[in-house]
Amino acid sequence: MGRKGFIGEFEQVVLLATLQLKDEAHAPGISRKLEEDAGRPVSRGALYATLDRLERKGFLEWRVEASSEDGDGQPKRRFSVTEEGIAALRASRDMLMALWGGLDEVLEGPSS
């Protein structure tokens, strides 16, 4: 896998949140998901920079969706993870699982 295939931790959690949200994956929803489920506060700038970077890498795509009448009247970008993005998540998971292998005793032992 080339450089394009490696994803950082924040990129991973953004892709995972996008997958979790399915058709409701817009930036405010992704931010909320990360804050609520991952306990990770997210700045708007960091999120949009990451969404743009993931799109450039081919791991994410978006479409403009007209705003509903109960919204703020602005169109929204709805995000979805591409097959390349899913492959990158799988590769990242496999790498981490290989590195975690055999460390249960160390990691489950007493805290320092």
Fold topology of 3-98: Arc Repressor Mutant, subunit A (1.10.10)
pLDDT confidence bin for 51, thresholds 50/70/90: very high
Beta bridge partners of 63: 78
pLDDT digits (tens, 9 = 90+) for 1-29: 444 557 999 999 999 999 999 989 999 99
Amino acid at 79: F
Helical (H) or strand (E) element with 83 = helix 83-100
Q: In the prediction, which pLDDT does 10 show?
A: 95
Q: Per-domain residue ranges for the chain?
A: 3-98
Q: What is the pTM of this model?
A: 0.84
pLDDT digits (tens, 9 = 90+) for 59-97: 999 999 876 666 667 788 999 999 999 999 999 999 999
Rounded Cα–Cα distance for residues 77 and 71 (Å) = 13
Q: In the prediction, which pLDDT does 76 show?
A: 86
Identify whether the C-beta of residue 47 lies closer than 8 Å to the C-beta of residue 28.
no
Identify whether the C-beta of residue 67 lies closer than 8 Å to the C-beta of residue 76.
yes
